A and B are shown apart, each in its own frame.
Chain A
Amino acid sequence: MSLTWYVVVSAFVFAIGAGGVLVRRNPLVILLCIELMLNAANLALVAFARAHGNQDGQVFALIVMVVAACEVAIGLGLIVALFRQRLPIDVDELRELQG
């Protein structure tokens, strides 16, 4: 099983995630698409770690997962704050963050 296949899958997932960020307008789904892109990067990191027989890439992937969890916590906190302010949950109508 050539490692090129893994890298191609990673490229597909990244492109799908980038397209989703552009197409969707619900901030929840945009966060999900950012998760897709981060996961694609993780897959590429782990594939390259396997290619070089070196575990540093796996450590990098774990750190990326930590940062993704932080990003999710902050993003969902923002969405809950928007909902409490009775603002529309739609990125096209949210042009300013001033409370």
Chain B
Amino acid sequence: MAEVVFFIAAIGVIAGAVGTVTLRNPFYSVLALVFHLLSLAALFLLLRAEFVAAAQVVVYAGAVMVLYVFVVAYVGGDRSALAAPVGPRLKVLSGLFALALLVELCIAMIGTTLTVLDGQGTGFFAGFGSPREIGRLFLTDFLLAFELASILLLIAAVGAVLLARRRSGLEMAGDLSVADVMRGTHGTPGPAELETQAEAAGPAPR
């Protein structure tokens, strides 16, 4: 039973990865990656990593992929899909490089004398990989990594907002003081409003 599930999930994982790389339209690439992530969650379940599988489905296949879909819709997928493809020489060279990497990884990971990989793995206890156990590890042994991860997420969120903001926003902040806003003298539409109107009318032709 486990073998059947493994091979179905593994074929799904590799097919999703190939689809992500080869599909021309970025929107279909994102959908292929979602399929890849869901299959990967099945593999995690087979490896007794329940919480990692749940986080994979909820955080990755849910939240992160929604972000991708929005950005692909905003940027517009088909225009970049029409760009001239990479030259055939570079493509062959890249394929050879990827193949060499695969061979090297297989030699490195299978060719070792790690005997643990031959079997099903050592025995595990009842709550192995459950949210309770992972939470206990995060708040005892890996507390520093946990806190650093939360700080990193905060920095990334602030950085993403700063990167994606409107460029005129910074100039506005210079000449607009809080006192002006309080007095209500800031009545005329600034560059930010004008840009919002221009954006509503559609992107300018390149």
List residues of A whose CB falls within 8 A of some B CB.
1-20, 22-26, 28-29, 31-33, 35-36, 39, 42-44, 46-47, 49-53, 55-56, 58-59, 61-63, 65-74, 76-81, 83-86, 88-90, 99
The residue in chain A whose Cβ has the minimal distance to the Cβ of B75 is A83
12 A-B residue contacts at CB 8 Å?
A1-B6, A12-B14, A18-B98, A22-B94, A26-B83, A29-B29, A46-B49, A58-B52, A58-B134, A69-B59, A70-B153, A73-B159
Q: Is B18 an interface residue (CB 8 A)?
A: yes
Q: A39-B36, A55-B133, A61-B49 are in contact. Are A26 and B80 (CB under 8 A)?
A: yes
Contact B95 A66 (CB under 8 A): no
A1-B2, A77-B161, A83-B74 known, 14 other contacts, Cβ within 8 Å: A1-B46, A13-B13, A14-B102, A26-B80, A29-B20, A31-B68, A32-B29, A36-B36, A51-B117, A59-B134, A73-B160, A81-B164, A86-B203, A88-B206
The residue in chain B whose Cβ has the minimal distance to the Cβ of A31 is B68
Contact A51 B105 (CB under 8 A): no
Residues of chain B contacted by A4 (CB below 8 angstroms): 110, 117-118
Measured between C-beta atoms, what is the minimum distance from B71 to chain A in Å? 5
Give the secondary structure class of B's interface.
helix
Task: State which residues 104-120 of B face A: CB under 8 Å.
Answer: 105-106, 109-110, 114, 116-120
Chain B contact residues (Cβ within 8 angstroms of A): what range? Answer: 35 or more
Contact of B64 among A10, A55, A69 (CB under 8 A): A69
Q: Is B163 an interface residue (CB 8 A)?
A: yes
Q: Compute how far the CA of A84 lies from the CA of B33 in the bound complex, rounded to whole angstroms.
A: 26
